[in-house]
Structure 1
Amino acid sequence: MGKTSTGVMSTSQCRKLDLGFMLKNGWIKKGCAMKGQMSWTGENTAEIETVYTDIEKYVRMVYTITDRQGAVTNYDYKIELVTVPSNLGKGEILYLLCPETSIRARILYSAYGYGKYVHRNWYLEQYGKRLYYNTQLCTKYEYHNTRYHTLDRKINDLIDKLFNSKHRKMHYKGKPTKDQQRLFLLESKRLHYDNKRNRVLIKKLGITI
C-alpha cells in the first residue's frame, strides 16, 4: 500500500475507496452492520467494518502499510457516512466524509505515499500536489475521444436495458419516458464529443474543409 511518488499522479494510479462499488457489491447495506476483507489488485487486504443504521453510520478501515524502507505503519480509523436528501425528493444519497477535510465524497483516495483514504483536494492543500483525473492529463483529442467512447458504452447499455425489458415503453401518455429522455441526452452529448474529436483530428492533420 501507498508508494511514495515525486511526480504527478492520476486517480487511476492510486488506491481508492469507492462508495458506489461498495454499495453495488453489498459491502454496505442500510440497517446492517457488516465485516469483511477487501483487496486491491497487486496490493494487501484491508479489514473493513461497515455500519449503516439510524444510530451509527461509518466505515472502519484496518490495514498495514510497509513502505520502501521497510517501515511498517498500522492503520485503524473510521470514515463517517453521511446522508443528504435526494434532489428528486425521494430517499437519500449516501456519502463518505473525508477523515482529514470533512468534505463529502463518493470516492476517497490513498496517494503520494499517504496511507489514509482522503478527498483528492487534500493532497494539493497538504503537499502542493494535485491528484488528477485521467481526462485532465489527456490531450484534447484523447479527452474528447475518451468522453465519446464512455458515452457510447452508456448508450449501448441503456439500449440493451430498454429493448430487453419485458415492460419496455418508449413513451407514456404521449411523452417520452425518463429512460428515453436520458437516451436522447446521452446521444446529444455523444454527438457533441464526436464533433469535437473530429475537429481536433482534422486540425492536427492539417486538413482544410
Structure 2
Amino acid sequence: MPKTHTFPTLYDEVKQINISNLKKWGYLQPNQIKSSVISWSCNGAKTGSISILVNTTDVPFIELNYNSNDKPRHYRVYLIQYPSNLGKGFIWYFICPQTNKKCRKLYLVDGYFLHREAFKGCMYAKQTQTKKWREIEKVYGSYFDEEKHYKELHSKHFKTHYNGKPTKRYLKLIAKLKEANRVSCEDIERLFFM
C-alpha cells in the first residue's frame, strides 16, 4: 500500500534570517546598535517584512518585531561568537530561543523564527524527491542545471583566473557544462517517454 501524502513544509520555501546576510549588510560590527527592516519578495511582489534591532554590545542579541497571521510577535534571539577555525576573527551564531542550539539560519515556520530542529514534519526539497528522481538527477542533473551554470559563469564578479591560474570553481563549472553537452534531448525523451 502506498504511503499517504503529507505535503510537508519545505525549509527551502519559508522565510529565513541568516548570519551571512546580517554580516554582509553591516549589522554585526562590534559594539553597535543598529535597526532596520528586512523585506522578502517573490517575482517582484513584496511577500513580507520584519523590523529588526541588532545589538552587539555587552550581551549581543537580535530583536525581531513582526506580525504573523495577524498576531504581533516581539522577541529576542541571542547571538554568540566563537573563534574561527582558521585562527582569524570570530564567527557569529544565533542561539535558538526554543532549542538553545547554535545555528547560522533561522526559519519562519508556525509564526516564529527558530532553529530547524524546533519544527516537526518539515523537510528540505531534496528530501521529498523519489529515489527514481534522485537517480535520474545523478545521471542527467547537469543537463537540467545547464542554464544555472551559464548564469553563474557570466555573473558580475565571477573570477575565472586567480594569479594566472584557473580557479577551482571555474574548472568545476566548465566540467559540469561539458557533461551537460554530452546529454542530448533524445536521451531525456527516451528516459521519460519509453
Whether TM exceeds 0.5 here: the answer is yes
2:60 to 57, 70, 78: 57
Q: Which of the pair is proportionally richer in helix?
A: 1
* 1:12-52 CA-partner distances (Å, limit 9, x unpaired): 32111122122212333333110122222243432210012
Give the gaps of 5 or more residues in structure 1.
1-5, 67-71, 172-179
Residue 122 (1) aligns with residue 118 (2) = yes
Residue 96 of structure 1 aligns to a residue in which SS?
Answer: strand
CA separation of 1:37/1:100 partners in 2, compared to 1, >3 Å: closer, same or farther?
same
Tell me by how many angstroms 1:61 deviates: 0.3
Tell me by how many angstroms 1:80 deviates: 1.1
Residue 104 (1) aligns with residue 102 (2) = yes
Residue 48 (1) aligns with residue 45 (2) = no
Q: State the partner residue of 2:123.
A: 131
Give the gaps of 5 or more residues in structure 2.
1-5
CA separation of 1:190/1:150 partners in 2, compared to 1, >3 Å: closer, same or farther?
farther
Q: State the partner residue of 1:187.
A: 171
Q: Distance in 2 between matches of 1:11 and 1:193?
A: 28
Q: State the partner residue of 2:164.
A: 170
Q: Which of the pair is proportionally richer in strand?
A: 2
1:84 to 82, 85, 89: 82
Residue 13 of structure 1 aligns to a residue in which SS?
Answer: coil
CA separation of 1:24/1:159 partners in 2, compared to 1, >3 Å: closer, same or farther?
closer
Quote the sequence identity (%). 19
* Partner amino acid, structure 1, of 2:51: E
What's the TM-score, normalizing by structure 1?
0.64
Aligned length: 173
Q: Distance in 2 between matches of 1:151 and 1:30?
A: 37
C-alpha RMSD of matched pairs (Å)? 3.5
Tell me by how many angstroms 1:190 deviates: 6.9
CA separation of 1:81/1:135 partners in 2, compared to 1, >3 Å: closer, same or farther?
same
Tell me by how many angstroms 1:57 deviates: 1.2
The structure with higher relative contact order (CA 8 Å, sep 6+) is 1
